[in-house]
Amino acid sequence: MVKYIVKRIGIGLLTLFVLVTVTFFLTRMMPGSPFDIANLTPANQEKMISFYGLDRPLTEQYVQYLGNLFHGDFGVSFKKAGVTVNDLIASLAPATMKLGAISYGVSLILGTALGIWMAVTRQDLVKGSILTFSTFGVSVPNFVLALLLMLVFGVYLNWFPVLGLSTPRHYVLPVITQSVYPIAQISRLVKTSYTEAMSQDYVVMARAKGLKGSRISLLHILKNAMIPVITTSGPMIAFLLTGSFVVENIFTIPGIGREFVNAVSNRDYTVVMGLTVFMGILIIVCNLAADLVCVLVDPRIKMAE
């Protein structure tokens, strides 16, 4: 068990290192200087560049960046004077993470419920409708969904507010936007794995013991059926993070996604880098957590490793 965790953490750190390195060099290779603004004289530009250390050799900058990161310092923004990336993350991350966590929770519950329903129902109509919904869910791009929801429920019907995240009602539309795709994916996964688990011998054994139907389906079958869902939670979190780029833009939510897109268009290197690395860490941590939950649910995994 300990060996397995250490190994997973090792892979996580390696991933993080690759991620930081790639991000650093990609951002440094980008065309255009961050200080390429009309009202800045060439002399002042020079000054700015040397102030931020951009004139030193790349390797030196890289080593320094790594060192700073190691101490938890993501650097300062080139564009917003005096604002550190740490400040940005501290003020913006909660909104994004809250939205993401709620969306993931909703998707997990609804997706699992729909998946089980699809697996056990004998009515072809129900099965067909849920399947069509889930195809619809994976087919509609999230920006389309966000715009439609905003237009219909925010502007025309005026049922829900569409600006910011100040009250619980503000969460409704962004959460729906973010959850539809994961719900569709999870319900399909659960349907497949649940159907498969239902046909396993241990279910016959559980029935032969005279157990109640609810215990058989919620413990014996579901615990087995959830394993693939847990393993895909990493990519799901990544999906929610990238989804936040458009969702936060459309619903004007002050979060990491919106800031990232802004930084990209402003060519604010350190912010782009810092946010990328931060999102990378988030995803790596989530993957690690998913791996651990997996081992708790299915003890065979650590044997296979």
Partner 1 sequence: MGERLLTIRDLNIEFDTPQGVVKAVRDVNFHVDKGEILGIVGESGSGKTVSVMSCLGLLTDNEKIVRGEILFEGENLSSAGIRTEKERKRHEQFLNTIRGNKISMIFQDPMTYLNPVLTIGTQLTEGIMTHQKCSKKEAWDKSVELLRKVGIPGPERRMYQYPYEFSGGMRQRIVIAIALSCDPKLLIADEPTTALDVTVQAQILELIRERAKADNTSVIMITHDLGVVASLCERIIIMYGGKVAEEGLAEEIFYEAKHPYTQGLLGSVVKRRQAGDRREPLESIPGTPPDLLKINRGCPFMSRCPKAMKICKDYIPAVTPFSQTHSLSCWLYCKEQARELVERQKAEMGAGLG
Partner 2 sequence: MLSPDEFFEPVEDWERDTEYIAMENKSFGRDVWSRFCRNRRALFGLVCLTAVVVLAIFGPMVSPYPYDGMDVAVKNQGSSIAHWFGTDQFGRDTFTRVLYGARISLMIGFVATAINLVIGVLYGGIAGYVGGFADMVLMRIVDIIYAVPAMVYMILLMLLLGSNVYSVMIGICVSGWINMARIVRSQVISLKEQEFSVAAFVMGASTRRILFRHLLINSLGPIIVSVTLMIPQAIFTEAFLSFIGIGISAPMASLGTLAQDAKMQLEIYPMQMIWPVAVICLVIFSLNFMGEGLEEALNPKGKR
Q: Is 266 helix (H, G, I), strand (E, B) or coil?
A: helix
Question: What is the smallest separation between the CB atom of 47 and partner 2, expressed in angstroms?
Answer: 25
CB atoms near residue 41 (< 10 Å) = 8
SS3 content of the chain, % helix, strand, coil (to 5): 80, 0, 20
Return the one option of partner 1, partner 2, none that residue 300 interacts with (CB less than 5 to 8 A, by type): partner 1
Question: What is the smallest separation between the CB atom of 236 and partner 1, expressed in angstroms?
Answer: 22
CA-nearest of 232, 237, 240, 273 to 75 is 273
Choose which of 242, 295, 298, 302 interacts with partner 2 (CB under 8 A): 242
Give Cα 3 distance to the centre of its chain. Answer: 27
Query: 73 is written with which tokens?
Result: 């310092």
Return the one option of partner 1, partner 2, none that residue 29 interacts with (CB less than 5 to 8 A, by type): partner 2
Which residues bind to partner 1, rule: CB under 8 A? 122, 200-202, 204-213, 215, 219-220, 223-224, 227, 297-300, 303
**Distance (Å, rounded) from C-alpha 136 to C-alpha 144?**
12
CB atoms near residue 277 (< 10 Å) = 21
State residue 76 phi and psi, 5-degree precision.
-115, 160
Question: What is the smallest separation between the CB atom of 115 and partner 1, expressed in angstroms?
Answer: 18
Return the one option of partner 2, partner 1, none that residue 242 interacts with (CB less than 5 to 8 A, by type): partner 2
Q: Which of these segments, 27-35, 71-79, 94-102, 211-219, binds partner 2 (CB under 8 A)?
A: 27-35
Residue-wise DSSP of 169-224? HHHHHHHHHHHHHHHHHHHHHHHHHHHHHHTSHHHHHHHHTT--HHHIIIIIIHHH
Mapping DSSP onto H, E and C, the string for 111-172 reads HHHHHHHHHHCCCHHHHHHHHHHHHHHHHCCHHHHHHHHHHHHHHHCCCCCCCCCCCHHHHH
Size of the site for partner 2 (CB under 8 A): 51
**Distance (Å, rounded) from C-alpha 75 to C-alpha 302?**
39
Residue 232 as a binder of partner 2 (CB under 8 A): the answer is no
Interface of this chain with partner 2, residues 61 to 100, rule: CB under 8 A: none
Question: What is the smallest separation between the CB atom of 302 and partner 1, expressed in angstroms?
Answer: 10
By C-beta, is 64 or 200 nearer to partner 1?
200
By C-beta, is 211 or 292 nearer to partner 1?
211
By C-beta, is 175 or 206 nearer to partner 1?
206
- Which residues make up the interface to partner 2 (CB under 8 A)? 11-12, 14-15, 18-19, 22-23, 26-27, 29-31, 131-132, 135-136, 138-144, 147-148, 151, 155, 192, 195, 199, 234-235, 238, 241-242, 245-246, 249, 260-261, 264-265, 267, 272, 276, 279-280, 283-284, 287
